[in-house]
Structure 1
Amino acid sequence: MTKDLNKTVRTVSRRGFIAAAAGAVALPKLAAAQSAVDALINTPGRGKWDEQFDAVTSRAQAAVSSNQPILSPNAPMNIMQAMAEYQRINANGGWPEVHPNVPLQFGVYDPSVRQLRQRLIVSGDLPQEAGISDSYDSYVQGAVRRFQARHGLAETGYIDEYTLKALNVSAAVRLAQLETNLTRVEDLGSDLGQRYVLVNIPAAYCEAVEDNAVALRNVAIVGRPSRPTPLLNSKIFEIIFNPPWTVPRSIIQKDIMPLMREDPNYLVDNKIRLYDNKGQEVDPLTVDWNAEKAPNLTFRQDPGPNSAMASTKINFHNKHAVYMHDTPSQSLFNDILRFESSGCVRIENVRDLDVWLLKNTPGWNRQKIEETIHAGISTPVNLADPVPNHFVYITAWSTKDGIVQFRDDIYNLDGAPELALQTTTGIE
């Protein structure tokens, strides 16, 4: 009963705050703004817009990254402030869709750039003084990069397929997305620990947080939609350097069985050994790889830089048998679509995270970690102070400086199909 009452009070307070904020600050009507811009555009002798603005100033980017964690103590209030802004945007007609006649990139002069400028001005990515014209100048290029950074897209400065899709998600849908994620953030609470690790699945990155500030932010690779990374709360208790990899049953059935039918040397080439329930090694040639079910054997890959987990495995208790780890395929971290694993989380620059996790464990500084990895011997290390670990699903959030970030709803949990903009497949 008390929980229900608290939730009701919380909802009423949230609505009251947003309503008050929406009434306190009035967004200029789009028609009035357009009229002022039109007057500026029609000034005699104006010339082209890209000739009127200082190139260095127009390329200046508002910082999108922040050392504030996604789940800072102020996270709910930050999202509510963003919701108030998006309510004002919707009350003023939202933003226009962009339908380009030509590829939109720097140097293009086309009427469809007007739609793009209007769209970026309304969302706050393009300064209003940049005006409305047909020119894709350096102001527009900078604004597109800022928009891309806020949406987790490649900061190319031109309109690619995913940028166009993100631009054309309506302001009403974005407002609903913020509302959905406010509920998630409130339900998670703010007591995550003085030091903790957070993996935000839709953003595909990992934050190491200490004293409510991000100490490290590492790019990650998370589960594909067909094999999603689970939501969980646990504690990191162990790091294994040079870990052997025991292949999960699901990967044996779905991936290794078909691979062995195509290439009988796959296991040997990848240094994966088979063991029976007595610990005796089994020759792969004695297994029927055309059988419907995988053999009841343990598949274990030898440690090494080319193993599936490379230098590091980070363990935490959970019923899903997932963990965080290194990978030999470092180039995958450069991809925007980083939804490729079978549920576990691969971490870029994982040794930096190792150092941070072991900072309170005597004898395990950076030099010791590097020496241990170089030795190539599997070495488990227990953390002196286990570190809380949280896997969360946050597709929209904001920081105290008012920069709102959105990510694709890769697992289709937000309830709006237009938010699942990017899909990918792959094998872990």
Structure 2
Amino acid sequence: MTKDLDRKTPTNKTVSRRRFIAGAAGVLAMPHLASAQSAVDALINTPGRGNWDDQFDAFTSRAPASVSSNQPILGPNAPANLMQAIAQYQQIVTSGGWPQVHPNVPLQFGVYDPSVQQLRQRLIVSGDLPRSAGISDSYDSYVQGAVRRFQARHGLSETGYIDEYTLKALNVSARVRLAQLETNLTRVEDLGSDLGERYVLVNIPAAYCEAVEQDSVALRNVAIVGRPSRPTPILNSKIFEIIFNPPWTVPRSIIQKDIMPLMREDPNYLVDNKIRLYDNKGNEVDPMTIDWNAEKAPNLTFRQDPGPNSAMASTKINFHNKHAVYMHDTPSQSLFNDIVRFESSGCVRIENVRDLDVWLLKNTPGWDRQHIEQTIHAGISTPVNLADPVPNHFVYITAWSAKDGVVQFRDDIYNLDGAPELALQTTSGIE
């Protein structure tokens, strides 16, 4: 579960997509359709429902409804924010939950179909569509904006139409979502509130990194985390060092699982990727002298030269941990555009990592943005100790609410929440 080998995604490879296991258990049983409709209507119109929905007009609803803010996932108010969300979802469950959506036609802007009524009801109950939008067969700009907001809250592509993955997220029951919130409240309470005045947080299921200062997010970077078969560990540590232009010593697990098969397919792989072999005396070994068909990998050190195309590209961020994982740059920047970003062997790749470098070295004299760029451009491996080590937290939070009141959910990628409806169904793009 250490640093993985970045490989370019073939152009004909199916793009990994977010998949939930079909269906949602736990919907409250209703004796017939009329009573189900009555329960939904009662919930939509209840005076105590609160101000859960965003009021936006037809023009603004055509744009993606951003749910991001500068409020961190964790912090002093995180438990209270989750408790408020739990109270809201308890009311939804008590009132009968939300309806399942069963489209008769592809649901997208401009469609008129009776199944849009189900969609409107579903989005009103969860607070994504304003009650004033009403119930009709029309998939108008209000519905489109509400769908985008729902997608943003669930980490999905903000397309504004109902694809397979959005539909499965819509049809996870309110009862299951409530249990997910309760599970994550326990996790948040166990973490405590003293994370540091300045800290870095990687939320593994959300696949992003927050740099937090004085309870406000200074940076939020997209990340790539461990695949389910090689998960990123949950940990707490302190970042003490950044290495610019780092060489990469390949972990034994990757040599055995990845490089051995690659060398059988392409004997020039190591040379082409500037990976050198060394014996225990530091002598370089010719790859052509190795039997790559052997069952076990050779007892040699595999080290990749520094450079923009190396596995770690410009940056390696070190912190003490028993898992030998770290954060780093990558030459495969296109992977950050994927919705499903569970591709690594345990380490965490950070998009726009140089912004994080600057933030981490803020209190280290002589290391401003210009000096960092000059050092990287020089191409020489350069370790830099932080003057003030920064706390670093890898957490597993699949449901949260910041003080802005927006409730967010993510897939349970490592199956730790205990509900199959929340799991990420892995594909060839992940395993």
* Fold shared by both chains (TM-score > 0.5): yes
Aligned counterparts of 2:59 and 2:260: Cα–Cα separation in 1: 57
Corresponding position of 1:16 = none
The amino acid of 1:115's aligned partner reads Q
Match of 1:205 among 188, 204, 208: 208
Structure 1: how far apart are the matches of 2:429 and 2:298?
24
Q: Deviations over 1:265-295 (max 9, x none)?
A: 0001101000111110000001111111111
How far residue 32 of structure 1 moved from its aligned partner, in angstroms, is 3.8
1:105 is displaced (CA, Å) by 1.0
Provide the aligned C-alpha RMSD in A.
Answer: 1.8
Q: Which moved more, 1:138-147 or 1:62-71?
A: 62-71
Is 1:234 aligned with 2:244?
no
Distance 1:34 1:357, change over 3 A: closer
Residue matched to 1:223: 226
Q: Quick check: 1:181 aligned with 2:181? A: no
Task: State the partner residue of 1:330.
Answer: 333
Q: Could you say which residue in structure 1 is the equivalent of 2:62? A: 59
Cα drift, residue 330 of structure 1: 0.4
**Structure 2: how far apart are the matches of 1:385 and 1:130?**
52
Shift in Å, 1:422: 4.6
Tell me which of the two structures has the higher relative contact order, counting C-alpha pairs closer than 8 angstroms and 6 or more residues apart: 2
SS at match of 2:194: coil
Matched, 1:125 2:128: yes
How high is the sequence identity, in percent, across the aligned residues?
Answer: 89
SS of equivalent residue, structure 1 residue 146: helix
Counterpart for residue 300 of structure 2? 297
| Partner Cα distance (1:398, 1:207) in 2 | 15
Seen in structure 2, the aligned counterparts of structure 1 residues 61 and 307 have a Cα distance that, compared at 3 Å, is closer
Deviations 1:198-221 (A, max 9, x none): 000000000000111110000000
**What is the match of residue 414 of structure 1?**
417
- Aligned with residue 106 of structure 1, among 96, 101, 109: 109
Letter in 2 for 1:357: L
1:6-405 equivalences in 2 (<5 Å):
30-32=40-42, 55-59=58-62, 63-405=66-408
Structure 1 residues 366 and 383, CA gap change in structure 2 (3 angstroms): same
Post-superposition shift, 1:54?
Answer: 6.1
Whether the 8 Å contact between 2:277 and 2:301 is mirrored in structure 1 is yes
C-alpha separation in 2, matches of 1:311 and 1:226: 27
Q: Deviations over 1:26-51 (max 9, x none)?
A: xx953346799xxxxxxxxxxxxxxx
Larger-Rg structure: 1
Query: How does the TM-score come out when normalised to structure 1?
Result: 0.87
Unaligned runs of 5+ in 2: 1-37, 47-55
Task: Supply the distance in 1 between the matched residues of 2:339 and 2:311 (Cα, whole angstroms).
Answer: 21
Cα distance between partner residues in 2 of 1:293 and 1:427 = 25
Q: Which has the higher helix share?
A: 1
Which structure 1 segments of 5+ residues have no match? 1-27, 37-52
Distance, in Å, in 2 between the alignment partners of 1:148 and 1:34 is 21
Return the offset for 1:88: 0.3
Q: Say if 1:242 and 1:373, in contact at 8 Å, map to a contact too.
A: yes
SS of the residue corresponding to residue 274 of structure 1 reads strand
8 Å contact 1:339–1:425 — kept in the other structure?
no
Q: CA deviation at 1:99?
A: 1.3
Superposed displacement of residue 402, structure 1: 1.4
Partners in 1 of 2:216 and 2:264 — Cα distance? 50
**Displaced runs of 4 or more, over 4 A:** 33-36, 60-63, 424-428
Does the 8 Å CA contact 1:312/1:326 hold for their aligned counterparts?
Answer: yes
- Measured in 2, the distance between the counterparts of 1:313 and 1:245 equals 9
The match for 1:20 is: none
Shift of 1:58: 3.8
Normalised to the residue count of structure 2, the TM-score between the two structures is 0.87
User: Contact between 1:224 and 1:425, CA under 8 Å: does it hold in 2?
Assistant: no
Change (3 A) 1:32 1:87: closer
On the 8 A contact 1:274/1:298 being kept in 2, the answer is yes
Q: How far apart are the structure 2 equivalents of 1:426 and 1:240?
A: 30
Aligned residues: 385
Q: CA deviation at 1:139?
A: 0.5
